[in-house]
């Protein structure tokens, strides 16, 4: 027999579509914010060159701050709203799996937010020259560069948890009638690729260098497809789940 909770019974296609479109808009803000923050870091970080990196950040300090600020804002706002709305939308398909997706997403935010502290170290080093007077200029630059590398490691850890979010969301899409199944397959593939990339970064850096950036292309395709569909279409139809 089919049974619906009060929340399920009172949900309407129009209200669910509104929530889905808001989730899609938030997802696009997260994607755009991530691309901006990543572009800022990549443009001012010179691989293997602490001195050149320190000089680039000092010359474009405002841009570096904006990269950190945008990252913090989308983690604390749009990403959180998106996570909660996607949980509300998909929990009717499989409550436990939806909870796994939400827990994974919240863990990503916590790990990534903590890792962002490392990106402020180059600024702190520049602001604390007197207290770091015992260190030479080269040592201060090396310290700042090491902090940036540690952020990259923390970001890799966050993506390991994000792979769980993508895979769980893909499975939820395949189980439900809310989003085209093709997008569910792409999200499952995104989860697998994120997991393999993060694991390779930790245990086999040389292999990770070979895999990048190609292994992330399916991830981008899956996330953009889901965000675009939710923003443009919302949901396909009301689900019909049995318990």
* 168-195 pLDDT, tens digit each: 999 999 988 889 999 999 999 999 999 9
In a domain, 29, yes or no: yes
In a domain, 3, yes or no: no
pLDDT digits (tens, 9 = 90+) for 77-130: 999 999 999 999 999 888 999 999 999 999 999 999 999 999 999 998 877 666
What one-character-per-residue DSSP string does 162-192 give? Answer: HHHHHHHHHHHHHHSSSS-HHHHHHHHHHHH
CA atoms within 13 A on the CB side of 124: 10
Domain range spanning residue 78? 11-233
In a domain, 1, yes or no: no
Domain count for the chain: 1
Residue 208, pLDDT > 90, answer no
pLDDT for the residue 105: 95
pLDDT band for position 237 (cuts 50, 70, 90): low
Average pLDDT over residues 52-77: 94
- Where do the H-state alpha helices sit in 77-136? 78-90, 95-116, 121-127
Provide the total of helices (H) and of strands (E) in the chain, helices listed first.
11, 0
In a domain, 86, yes or no: yes
114 conformational bin, left if phi > 0, alpha if psi -120 to 50, beta if neither: alpha
The region of weakest confidence among 133-137, 150-154, 219-223 is: 133-137
pLDDT for the residue 13: 65
pLDDT for the residue 46: 93
The region of weakest confidence among 49-58, 176-185, 203-212 is: 203-212
Q: Note the pTM of the prediction, 2 decimals.
A: 0.86
Residue 1, pLDDT > 70, answer no
CA atoms within 13 A on the CB side of 70: 19
Residue 241, pLDDT > 60, answer no
In a domain, 168, yes or no: yes
pLDDT for the residue 176: 87
pLDDT digits (tens, 9 = 90+) for 3-43: 344 444 445 667 888 999 999 999 999 999 999 999 999 99
Question: CA-to-CA distance for 54 and 140, rounded, in angstroms?
Answer: 9
In a domain, 4, yes or no: no
Residue 230, pLDDT > 70, answer yes
In a domain, 49, yes or no: yes
In a domain, 84, yes or no: yes
């Amino acid at each position: 027999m089919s049974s619906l909770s009060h929340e399920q019974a009172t949900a309407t296609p129009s209200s669910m579509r509104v929530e889905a479109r808001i989730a899609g808009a938030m997802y696009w803000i997260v994607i755009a914010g991530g691309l901006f923050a990543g572009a800022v870091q990549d443009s001012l970080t010179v691989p293997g060159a602490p001195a050149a990196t320190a000089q680039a950040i000092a010359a474009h300090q405002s841009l570096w701050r904006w990269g950190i600020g945008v990252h913090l804002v989308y983690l604390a706002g749009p990403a959180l709203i998106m996570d909660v709305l996607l949980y509300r939308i998909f929990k009717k398909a499989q409550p436990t799996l939806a909870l796994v997706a939400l827990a994974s997403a919240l863990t990503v935010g916590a790990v990534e937010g903590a890792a962002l502290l490392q990106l402020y170290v180059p600024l702190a080093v520049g602001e604390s020259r007197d207290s770091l007077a015992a260190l030479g200029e080269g040592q201060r630059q090396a310290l700042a560069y090491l902090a940036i590398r540690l952020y990259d490691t923390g970001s890799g850890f966050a993506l390991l948890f994000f792979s769980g979010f993508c895979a769980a969301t893909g499975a939820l899409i395949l189980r439900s009638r809310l989003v085209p199944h093709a997008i569910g397959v792409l999200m499952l593939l995104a989860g697998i690729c994120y997991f393999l990339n993060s694991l390779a970064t930790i245990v086999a850096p040389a292999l990770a260098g070979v895999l990048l950036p190609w292994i992330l292309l399916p991830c981008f395709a899956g996330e953009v497809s889901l965000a675009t569909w939710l923003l443009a279409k919302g949901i396909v139809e009301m689900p019909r789940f049995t318990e």
